[in-house]
Structure 1
Amino acid sequence: MTITTAPPEVRPGRRVRRTALLLLLTLPGLVWAVIRLFGWERGPLVQVVAFTPYAAAWSLIPLVVALLARKWLIAAVAALTAALLAGAVLPRAIPDSDRGPAGGVPMSVMTVNMFIGAADPADVVRLVREHDVAVLAVQEFTPQAAAGLEAAGIDALLPHHALADEIGTTGSGLYSRFPMTDQGSRRGDGGGLQDGNLQVYATIQPPGAGPVLVESAHPLAPYALAAEDAWRADLEALPRADQGGTPRLVLGDFNSTLDHAPLRELISHGYRDAASATGDGLIGTWGPYDGVPIPPVTLDHILVDKRLGVRETQVHGVAGSDHRAVTAVVTLPPAS
């Protein structure tokens, strides 16, 4: 009688374990891709889905492993997962062929979250000067930040302003090179947990162009499960672009990435995301935070009415802030 022993690599138990491990590597990515595709993020998934670009990069690992292991069915699932996530993420890294009108009046705009007023005002003013910024939107704007910007010389560059500074994280403001009209502010939904964030708005009149409505956006962050409804309500309350009315720019800290369905829904109403349009949409604007090694995510956006053009965008570090400033050069239609 001859007794044979199967080589370890072909033992059924080991094959099953390898297959199970590959499935454990692959299926979470597929679930993530489906949630992102259909906008099903709820509860803790609201925060998790912000990291979809990292999940997209990770999805290549189980695909390669499955191909090397010749697990064809799992490889097919992994390939589908990678394709779904790539389709969601990669367009942000590819400049759009249509960025709106190329001709017209160029205007540089900038948004920065001042991190409860701790951002270095001189650094903010330096960016305004170096990038010829004509409209500046600020969030987490405190009386200390307002005084600091004034002392750093903001009024010499942007003499017109609509300010709603408050102690804490709720203040907001707009500074402009051009005259403002109809300025005001509205308070978002704090969800009963805190005061809602103030969001300043105004109409500006650049020379040679028609009027433009500008708003400094700051929806409540979904920092806790109890804040989710207020976060959604704040995004829902942001103005849609009225194609029959005055063109709009909405810029600020949206506490949302392009992987969040409520922000995509807002953009679908007549806007384009400036950074995504120029292929810079994967540059992180927030994180790490408070010493925690959180991978950077893109929470700060400049939403541009589709009747306006987008020429270029940039992201800049700001001393003292956990957010980065975003600048964009937009093109305004000439006055008729």
Structure 2
Amino acid sequence: MVDIEERRTKRKGTTFLLVVAAIAFLLAAFTRLLGIDGTRHMVATTALTPYFTAAGVLLGAVALLARRWAVGTVTLLVAAVLVAAVAPRAFPDPRPVAVGREVTVMSLNLLVGTAEAEAVVAAVRERRVDVLALQELSPAMVRDLDRAGLAEVLPYRHFLDEPGGSGSGIASRYPVSPRALAAPSTLRQAGALVDLPGEDLELVSVHPLPPVVDEGPEHWQRDLAGLPKRVLGGPVRVLAGDFNATLDHVGLRRLLTSGYVDAADQVGAGLDPTWPSGALWPPPVTIDHVLVDDRCPVEGFTVLDVPGTDHRAIVTRFVLPAR
């Protein structure tokens, strides 16, 4: 009799734990699926979508093995929907045969100007970067980059450097003209027209305010909404930088529906984390992106570690279509 009671107690305890875990998973899942950015805590939860998707699959399987059929079935069904949204990022998309001029763009958040300038310039040289987008660009960092030889490789620039983390800039192998492409934002987001031989390219160094600040995500939402859409028939446009958003955030997904593709997603690297570099906590997420005009086939994407910053550099190659 005692054994039966003990088994019933254990069964109830197992059921309770599985139900609580399932509720937590479902709340996170529906926050993502319904596109609710909400509070800063909800935004942070959405950034972890790949993690709780995997947790949902595991939880559903455990519940079924424990014969908690309702819990297991509901959890696995919702997890399957998330898998369908997340898993394709790990596989390359079909792309047209590239005909035109190949361009290499690199982006890096410099962590308030503490990144190792020599490593940045070495990466630019090694990857034969044509255009470099920088975030958190300070006056001291500009001096360090120049001492490291950046101007020798990328002699043209439009820098909006400031002390702290609000500065940004664009350096280029080809002449640049400043352009006010993004709406006024909390942090500075440099925009420029790059005069490539035979073709023009508009680029924004993207850096919306992080959504997890105490004030909440309103500034982040506004900054994302102020990024320029692709203009049909206009110059090829690229948004490169620290979006403080993953492909699961509704603000970034809206941009992608306006005529851009995520370069990493196109080549199957969409789950490669970019922040924090070299750390396991908080869980690494993919918040740095290069959004490329969907007229441009993406040829490659690489994530690089750079000493001195908590972000990883991202480098993409794409082809400007021949006209």
Q: Same fold (TM over 0.5)?
A: yes
Shift of 1:270: 0.2
For normalisation by structure 2, the TM-score amounts to 0.94
Q: Which amino acid aligns with 1:91?
A: P
Q: Distance in 2 between matches of 1:101 and 1:221?
A: 37
CA RMSD of aligned residues (A): 1.9
The 5 A counterparts of 1:130-145 are 130-145=126-141
The 5 A counterparts of 1:89-104 are 89-98=86-95, 102-104=98-100
Q: Tell whether the 8 Å contact from 2:158 to 2:177 is kept in structure 1 after alignment.
A: no
Query: How many residues get paired?
Result: 322
- Residue matched to 1:69: 66
Q: Tell whether the 8 Å contact from 2:303 to 2:313 is kept in structure 1 after alignment.
A: yes
Shift of 1:224: 2.2
Q: Distance in 2 between matches of 1:288 and 1:252?
A: 15
The 5 A counterparts of 1:122-137 are 122-137=118-133
Is 2:18 the counterpart of 1:22?
yes
- Residue matched to 1:197: 187
Q: Distance in 1 between matches of 2:252 and 2:183?
A: 19
**Paired-residue identity, %:** 39
Shift of 1:86: 1.0
Q: Tell whether the 8 Å contact from 1:250 to 1:302 is kept in structure 2 after alignment.
A: yes
Q: Distance in 2 between matches of 1:220 and 1:188?
A: 12
- Residue matched to 1:240: 229
Q: Tell whether the 8 Å contact from 2:191 to 2:203 is kept in structure 1 after alignment.
A: yes
- Residue matched to 2:289: 301
Q: Distance in 2 between matches of 1:18 and 1:74?
A: 12
- Residue matched to 2:84: 87
Is 2:114 the counterpart of 1:118?
yes
Aligned partner (choices 2, 24, 31) of residue 27 of structure 2: 31
Q: Please, which runs of 5 or more residues in structure 2 have no aligned partner?
A: none
Q: Tell whether the 8 Å contact from 1:93 to 1:281 is kept in structure 2 after alignment.
A: yes
Q: Tell whether the 8 Å contact from 1:161 to 1:173 is kept in structure 2 after alignment.
A: yes
Deviations 1:142-176 (A, max 9, x none): 00111111111111111111011000100000001
Aligned partner (choices 247, 253, 273) of residue 264 of structure 1: 253
1:243–1:112 Cα change, 3 Å: same
Aligned partner (choices 200, 204, 211) of residue 211 of structure 1: 200
Q: Secondary structure at the match of 1:252?
A: strand
Is 2:314 the counterpart of 1:318?
no
Higher radius of gyration, 1 or 2: 1
Shift of 1:251: 0.1
- Residue matched to 1:222: 211
Q: Distance in 1 between matches of 2:92 and 2:311?
A: 24
Aligned partner (choices 266, 269, 273) of residue 280 of structure 1: 269
Q: Secondary structure at the match of 1:102?
A: coil
Q: Tell whether the 8 Å contact from 1:288 to 1:294 is kept in structure 2 after alignment.
A: no
Shift of 1:182: 4.2
Q: Distance in 2 between matches of 1:91 and 1:224?
A: 31
Deviations 1:62-92 (A, max 9, x none): 1121121122211111211221221221111
1:188–1:296 Cα change, 3 Å: farther
Q: Distance in 1 between matches of 2:180 and 2:71?
A: 56
Q: Please, which runs of 5 or more residues in structure 1 have no aligned partner?
A: 190-195
